[in-house]
């Protein structure tokens, strides 16, 4: 994620700690990598100290409470595979409690009746509180998710702070329109909060994904029940405490750690929920649409991706290799918009592959609290899935330039992996891997690369690198994707909408467009005693 002027892009693209010359084994290049054991400060990390202020419960109606069943579930440290917390496990009974609280808060509480300016002040105060504890949030995020601390500290948490400030500014600017009619009526529209919103977020960017959903919903006057991912619930729970401190009334913002088939499904189906907003896999998105159908709920979905990066002739090779490296390996490749299909023009292909392999070999892997660029994957399921795709790519005939294996014997670490000679029909070229696996393919004509890029069922994002303005315009118009970055990637800004085409979902997060996810439009028409002039 990157906000305007955010240093995240630079943090992830420094290419520090160049290792010794790689050892070669046939066609495969294996670079020596920093492992979790070798990380310089791993021994100084104390999970209990980092989590000292996190209350591992459910947040319902302004109180941190146990699950109705009394159940808890373990949260693991992906660096070590050790249990670092036992968190209350929400199920249908807890969803009912949380939705009831949100319903009361919306129907009879003060939040939606406040002026937009009052809500904006609360959101600004919340942003200030998070900023005051930014280092604590960054360390929780890295411990829970496994991303490098530099990324949490200089990217994710500043993004969250500025995102809430952005929507605090929008809260008093939400308004309808007066309308021209036939002259016998006076008509205008009201933009009103949609009601109780159920939000389900993924584990790859825990706190930024919370901000994507919660900030615009609260700015509009909605109340929220947030189901956080079972892998990464911890930063959200501390955030919930600060929301109460900032002045968000009880019941307006509720947090349910739990599993999708129980807590998530119950939230989607609950008759007291007016709107569902989900970010996650396309498979789960289908289930959410089915679950919301009986209640005819509003739904917005930001789903999977298999984004194309198109490298055109005439570009500066060094900068493009760096850009496309970060576009894929950011957050260990665990990003919905990761540029996991790299299409390189045939005139540049061989040199690009050589340089891309060399760049991946310089990427350091290890304990995310150390000076590394890639930490562990989030859990064992993701770890096994990514290793499976690496094996499948080799078995289907792609050439592996580097990587392809786990790093160390403990923790969910894998090598940054680069495949060349990838064909469009291979699984690594078609399916979302969600890991550090770059697939490089060759293209010849503009028509061909557009057809191939658009043939994939996903349409979340794409990148184009070219010095030709006409070609940039042609490709950006031709690509069926919700975001097209030209000569950059992951250039997020709070004002710029983000969402997908096709199986990547519908609806938009970020910017003014996100507000429409959380509003109803009401028309008010009054007859005029005497016809008005036009």
Question: Using one digit for the tens of pLDDT, what is the confidence trace for 425-442?
Answer: 999 999 999 999 999 999
What number is the average pLDDT over the span 465-483? 98
- What percentage of residues in the chain have a pLDDT greater than 90? 89
Tell me: pLDDT of 85 over 80.
yes
Using pLDDT thresholds of 50, 70 and 90, give the confidence band for residue 530.
Answer: confident
Is there a shared CATH topology between the 19-40+305-486 domain and the 58-303+504-522 domain? no
- What percentage of residues in the chain have a pLDDT greater than 70? 91
Question: Using one digit for the tens of pLDDT, what is the confidence trace for 26-59?
Answer: 233 333 334 333 443 455 799 999 999 999 999 9
Tell me: pLDDT of 399 over 90.
yes
Contact 154, 11 (CB under 8 A): yes
What number is the average pLDDT over the span 465-475? 98
Closest Cα to residue 80, out of 433, 408, 437, 415? 408
| Block residue for tokens 């947040």 | 59
Topology given in CATH for the domain delimited by 19-40+305-486: Aldehyde Dehydrogenase; Chain A, domain 2 (3.40.309)
The predicted pLDDT at position 182 comes to 84
- Report how far residue 295's alpha carbon sits from residue 196's, in angstroms, rounded to the nearest whole number: 13
What number is the average pLDDT over the span 497-519? 97
The predicted pLDDT at position 303 comes to 97
| Block residue for tokens 């085409």 | 501
Average per-residue pLDDT in the chain? 92
Question: Using one digit for the tens of pLDDT, what is the confidence trace for 252-277?
Answer: 999 999 999 999 999 999 999 999 99
Question: Using one digit for the tens of pLDDT, what is the confidence trace for 360-394?
Answer: 999 999 999 999 999 999 999 999 999 999 999 99
Question: Can you give the pTM of this predicted structure?
Answer: 0.92
The predicted pLDDT at position 22 comes to 34
What number is the average pLDDT over the span 91-107? 98
Strand partners, 249: none
The token pair that represents 7 in the structure block: 């240093």
Instruction: Classify residue 110 as exposed, middle or buried by CB count within 10 Å of its CB (0-12, 13-18, 19+).
Output: exposed
Using pLDDT thresholds of 50, 70 and 90, give the confidence band for residue 183.
Answer: confident
Using pLDDT thresholds of 50, 70 and 90, give the confidence band for residue 3.
Answer: very low
The predicted pLDDT at position 531 comes to 66
Tell me the torsion sign for CA atoms 25, 29, 35, 40: positive
Q: What's the half-sphere exposure (Cβ side, CA atoms, 13 Å) at 9?
A: 16
Contact 218, 124 (CB under 8 A): no
Strand partners, 418: 402, 438
- The residues that are catalytic are 302
Tell me: pLDDT of 412 over 70.
yes
- Report how far residue 54's alpha carbon sits from residue 145's, in angstroms, rounded to the nearest whole number: 15
Superfamily of structural domain 58-303+504-522: Aldehyde Dehydrogenase; Chain A, domain 1 (3.40.605.10)
Strands 178-179 and 185-193: antiparallel
- Report how far residue 483's alpha carbon sits from residue 216's, in angstroms, rounded to the nearest whole number: 20
- Report how far residue 435's alpha carbon sits from residue 410's, in angstroms, rounded to the nearest whole number: 18
The token pair that represents 44 in the structure block: 């100084």
Question: Using one digit for the tens of pLDDT, what is the confidence trace for 299-312?
Answer: 999 999 999 999 99
190's CB contacts (< 8 A; 6+ apart) are: 176, 521, 522, 524
Tell me the torsion sign for CA atoms 461, 466, 467, 470: negative
Domain limits, the chain: 19-40+305-486, 58-303+504-522
Angle at 231 between CA 229 and CA 232, to 5 degrees: 70
What number is the average pLDDT over the span 332-356? 98
């Amino acid at each position: 994620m990157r906000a305007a002027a955010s240093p995240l892009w630079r943090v992830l693209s420094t290419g520090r700690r160049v290792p010794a010359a790689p050892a070669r084994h046939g066609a495969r290049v294996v670079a020596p990598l920093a492992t979790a054991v070798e990380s310089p400060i791993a021994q100084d990390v104390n999970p209990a100290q980092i989590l000292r202020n996190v209350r591992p419960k459910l947040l319902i109606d302004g109180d941190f409470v146990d699950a109705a069943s009394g159940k808890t579930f373990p949260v693991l440290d992906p660096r070590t595979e050790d249990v670092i917390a036992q968190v209350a496990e929400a199920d249908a009974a807890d969803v009912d409690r949380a939705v009831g609280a949100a319903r009361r808060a919306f129907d009879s509480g003060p939040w939606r009746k406040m002026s937009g300016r009052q809500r904006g002040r609360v959101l600004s105060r919340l942003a200030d509180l998070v900023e005051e504890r930014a280092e604590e949030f960054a360390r929780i995020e890295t411990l829970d998710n496994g991303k490098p601390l530099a990324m949490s500290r200089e990217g994710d948490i500043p993004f969250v702070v500025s995102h809430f400030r952005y929507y605090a500014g929008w809260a008093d600017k939400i308004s309808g329109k007066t309308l021209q009619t036939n002259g016998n009526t006076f008509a205008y529209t009201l933009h009103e909060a949609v009601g109780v919103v159920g939000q389900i977020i993924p584990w790859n960017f825990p706190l930024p994904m919370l901000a994507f959903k919660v900030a615009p919903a609260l700015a509009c006057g909605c109340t929220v029940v947030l189901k956080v991912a079972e892998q990464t619930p911890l930063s959200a729970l501390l955030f919930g405490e600060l929301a109460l401190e900032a002045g968000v009334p009880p019941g307006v913002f509720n947090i349910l750690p739990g599993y999708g088939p129980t807590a998530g499904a119950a939230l989607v189906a609950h008759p007291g929920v007016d709107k569902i907003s989900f970010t996650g896999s396309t498979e789960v998105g289908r289930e959410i649409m089915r679950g919301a159908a009986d209640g005819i709920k509003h739904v917005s979905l930001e789903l999977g991706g298999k984004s194309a990066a198109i490298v055109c002739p005439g570009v500066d090779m060094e900068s493009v290799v760096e850009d496309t490296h970060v576009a894929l390996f950011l957050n260990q490749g665990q990003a919905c918009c990761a540029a996991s299909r790299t299409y390189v023009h045939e005139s540049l292909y061989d040199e690009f592959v050589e340089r891309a392999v060399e760049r991946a070999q310089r990427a350091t892997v290890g304990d995310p609290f150390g000076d590394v660029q890639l930490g562990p994957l989030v859990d064992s399921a993701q770890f096994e899935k990514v290793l499976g795709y690496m094996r499948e790519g080799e078995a289907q005939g792609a050439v592996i330039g580097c990587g392809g294996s786990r790093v160390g014997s403990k923790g969910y670490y894998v090598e940054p992996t680069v495949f060349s000679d990838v064909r469009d029909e291979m699984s690594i070229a078609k399916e979302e891997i969600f890991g550090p696996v770059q697939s490089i393919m060759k293209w010849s004509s503009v028509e061909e690369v557009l057809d191939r890029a658009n043939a994939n069922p996903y349409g979340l994002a794409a990148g184009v690198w070219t010095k030709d303005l006409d070609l940039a315009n042609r490709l950006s118009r031709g690509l069926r994707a919700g975001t097209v970055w030209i000569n950059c990637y992951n250039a997020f800004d709070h004002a710029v909408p983000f969402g997908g085409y096709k199986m990547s979902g519908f609806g938009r997060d970020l910017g003014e467009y996100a507000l429409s996810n959380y509003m109803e439009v009401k028309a008010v028409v009054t007859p005029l005693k005497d016809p008005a002039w036009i």
